[in-house]
Amino acid sequence: MRPSTIAIDGPAASGKSTIGYHLADCLGYLFLDTGVLYRAVTWVAQDRGIPVEAEDQITRLGEDVEIEVLPSAATDGRQNTVKVDGRDVTWEIRSPRVERDVSPVAAYPGVRHALTKRMREIACKGYVVMVGRDIGTVVIPDADLKLYVVASAGVRAQRRYMELREKGKDVSYEQVLAGIHQRDRIDSSRATAPLRAAADGITVDTTDLSVETMFAEVERLVNQYDAVKCEQGVRNESSRV
């Protein structure tokens, strides 16, 4: 037996998307990094000249804009292809400009409500690994397996800095670190669905872990779930005899 729905939460650049993509690939499940939905709404607002403070207008974007998250056939390192109104914005939504404004946008209750509805429609079909900041606590609190992935702010900033530099972005480590701290403050203190670990979630600290060790650890947790469920099934069958 395998967990049909896996929820993975954690702060920016903690490794949760890397872990989630790996698990989805191993299990043959759908992978959904829900952060791309909030990033897409943020990008649309910026593209249309809507200020980040315009909560009502941005909420309407969350309700109405056409966002597609598709499996990727590209070879440029993307985990999904994200389209807004048919336009590929996969890399545009990863820009420092979007990074700066996505947390305020994601804190708007109307935006969260609209996008959470979309996420639940996907999750109800099962066989999905869903990554975000309130997946195990709000979006799918009944997920079979919940992971909370963390790492130190310095390590997370270094990861994001290297990612941006590899894509030719002219940013400094100090700028990225400041952005990480800002996102942490906003995500953890927002009134609606703040970032926190689910009470029944398992914390995975990736600060000192290599990618290979991260993968081995989460695979162990999935296999451990299998073993526990199988044991419970045997006990249930025995009780019926």
pLDDT of residue 234: 41
What is the predicted pLDDT for the residue at 241?
43
Residue of 128, 146, 142, 109 lying closest to 71 (CA atoms): 128
Please state, in angstroms and rounded to a whole number, the distance separating the CA atoms of residues 15 and 178.
18
pLDDT score recorded for residue 235 = 43
Q: What is the pLDDT of residue 115?
A: 97
* 213 within 8 A of 158, measured Cβ to Cβ: no
Does residue 151 contact residue 14 with C-beta atoms inside 8 Å?
A: yes
- What distance in Å separates the CA atoms of residue 28 and residue 132, rounded to the nearest whole number? 20
Region for 136 from its dihedrals, namely left if φ exceeds 0, alpha if ψ lies in -120 to 50, beta otherwise: alpha
pLDDT of residue 134: 94
pLDDT of residue 77: 82
pLDDT at 230: 58
- In whole angstroms, what is the distance from residue 137 CA to residue 146 CA? 9
Can you list the residues of the chain whose pLDDT is less than 50?
232, 234-241
Name which CATH class applies to 5-212.
Answer: alpha beta
3-state secondary structure 106-122: HCCHHHHHHHHHHHHHH
Please report the pLDDT score of residue 99 as a whole number. 87
Is 16 in a helix, a strand, or coil? helix
Would you mind telling me the total number of residues written for the chain in this entry?
A: 241
Question: Tens digits of per-residue pLDDT, 8-67?
Answer: 999 999 999 999 999 999 999 999 999 999 999 999 999 999 999 999 999 999 999 999
